[in-house]
Amino acid sequence: MLALSRKTGESIVIGPDIEFTVLEIKGDQVKLGINAPKSVPIYRKEIYVQIQEANKEAANAGTNPDALSKLF
């Protein structure tokens, strides 16, 4: 993992078209602004994990013969 220090108003650039800017630091919270193409999905990690788990459950449901029989 790369750890970088930034102050309010400073940015980090990833690739040619993704930029993170520190907008505000208040106590133990940091507010980030993300500038990226609309084609790049951006999620909070806890939401991303939920999406991945739901996708795994949906994929596993397709291999369960009982689940298939319920569909028909």
pTM of the prediction?
Answer: 0.71
pLDDT at 67: 60
pLDDT at 72: 66
Q: Under a CB-based contact definition with an 8 Å cutoff, are residues 19 and 34 in contact?
A: yes
Q: Under a CB-based contact definition with an 8 Å cutoff, are residues 21 and 30 in contact?
A: no
- pLDDT tens by residue, 11-66: 999 999 999 999 999 999 999 999 999 999 999 999 999 999 998 888 876 666 66
Report the sign of the C-alpha dihedral through residues 18, 22, 23, 29, in that order. positive
Residues in the chain: 72
